[in-house]
Each structure stands twice: as C-alpha cells, then as structure tokens.
C-alpha cells in the first residue's frame, strides 16, 4: 500500500474515534477501572491512590473506545512492521536466486 493509503486509513480511524466524543458527551457507562476502585475501597476503606489522572473521559464508553483505539493503533504498527520485515526477507531471498552473470 502507498503511504497516502495508510494516511487515509489513519484519518478514518481518528474520525471514527472522535465522532462518539462529539455525538454522545454524556453517555452513561462505567468501565472496569471504576468497578475495581469500588471493590478495593470495600476491602480497604483507607486506600488512597498514588496518583490522580490528569484527564478523565466524560464516560466509561469513551474510555473504552480510546483503549480500543490504542489497541488498534498498536496492532496496525506491529502488523506494518512485521509485513515490512517479511517483505525484506523475501527480497533478500529473491536476490540470492538470481544467477551471478545476470544484472538486476
């Protein structure tokens, strides 16, 4: 694929991620982090977190969506890297099969 194709795919993913932020700013949903915090406070009421988040998403759905976007971006990066690595190995194998007297 061309670099412009990757750029268009990346922009499409960003657009898909941004639309729920704009369309449903008050979406009610609690993620696993909030539920874990409640359980920890039940077990140990004196627990205090080490740090507070610098930004909290408006809802748990948005937090989950951002997590999924992060996972997708990481998967794309790893897939791209492995594809390039595979292509380079394939090119090296093809060059080795060319007879010595023939120019490429």
The residue with tokens 């007297």 is: 101
Per-residue pLDDT, 97: 56
What DSSP assignment string belongs to 18-64?
A: HHHHHH-TT-----HHHHHHHHHHHH-TT---S---S---SSHHHHH
Model pLDDT for residues 34-93, shown as the tens digit of each residue:
778 888 989 998 988 888 878 888 887 888 899 899 999 999 999 999 888 888 887 776
pTM greater than 0.75: no
The domain locations on the chain are 29-46+56-96
Q: Buried b / exposed e across 46-69, counting CB within 10 Å, b at 16+? A: eeeeeeeeeeebebbbbbebeeee
Of residues 68 and 95, the one with the higher pLDDT is 68
């Amino acid at each position: 694929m061309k670099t412009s194709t990757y750029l268009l795919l990346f922009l499409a993913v960003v657009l898909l991620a941004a639309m729920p932020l704009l369309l449903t700013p008050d979406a009610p949903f609690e993620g696993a982090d909030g539920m874990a915090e409640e359980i920890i406070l039940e077990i140990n009421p004196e627990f205090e977190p080490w740090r507070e988040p610098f930004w909290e998403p408006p809802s748990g759905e948005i937090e989950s969506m951002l997590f999924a976007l992060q996972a997708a971006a990481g998967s794309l990066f790893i897939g791209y890297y492995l594809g390039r690595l595979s292509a380079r190995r394939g090119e090296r194998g093809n060059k080795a099969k060319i007879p010595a007297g023939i120019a490429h």
